[in-house]
Amino acid sequence: YMGTQFMIHTNPARFAMNLTVIDCHAAGEPARVVVDGFPPVPGDSMLEKRNYIMEHLDHIRKLLLTEPRGYPCQNANIIFPSKVAAWGVVIMEHNKVYPAMSGHNMICVATALLQTGRVEMKYPETNFTLEAPVGLINIRAKCHNGKATQITLTNAPSFVEHLDVQVNVPQVSPYALLCICVYLCICVFVCVFVSLQCIALVMFRTQVWCKLPSHIVRLGM
């Protein structure tokens, strides 16, 4: 679903900025798409732009996501011209998280681009590519009567970084087996097998550590 395009204004006494945004959601998962007004960002790729924004423009993420203009579940997506795709996207989330890829955000961005004419809509299906920090994401959109009715995306490949790594956690058990699957440098899924009796699944988001019990080893990532 794509909502109405509107403007976000800042206090000129602090810094002047007018952002044109579209609020969308994919099955209830929110995504705010910034289509105009974002300051120039150096970098040839979305990964380079993401890194620059993290270091120098994080105040804009806070402007978009926190009250009074945002709320705890909000996400934001900044679109940029891309050298290798129809458009590029940098994704922002709370707690200074800038994921390399997000499925529901990409669905919302694709919908906003199509329904504002930034990507030409073709019937019954429009195919194009978006550049995320992780790489190229292929989009297939079913279109009808000026609306994108269904978005299908093909993500970048996943891979296993470490498998069956033994870590000594004496407070829990003499040993634990960790199977670590690194998903495109976005999320790390850690399956911990303790004496073959307990299985815990912990998801780490990039640059964010879950609050784990003190006896669980914090992985060096």
| Active-site residue (options: 102, 158, 173, 214) | 102
Cis before 68? omega within 30: yes
3 state DSSP class of 162: strand
DSSP H or E run through 7: strand 2-9
Parallel/antiparallel/unpaired status of strands 173-183 and 159-169: antiparallel
Q: Is 45 tagged catalytic?
A: no
Neighbours of 43 (CB within 10 A): 15
**106 in Cβ contact with 133 (< 8 Å):** no
106: Cβ–Cβ under 8 A, 6 or more apart, which residues? 89, 130, 132, 137, 139, 153
Q: Which residues are catalytically annotated? A: 102
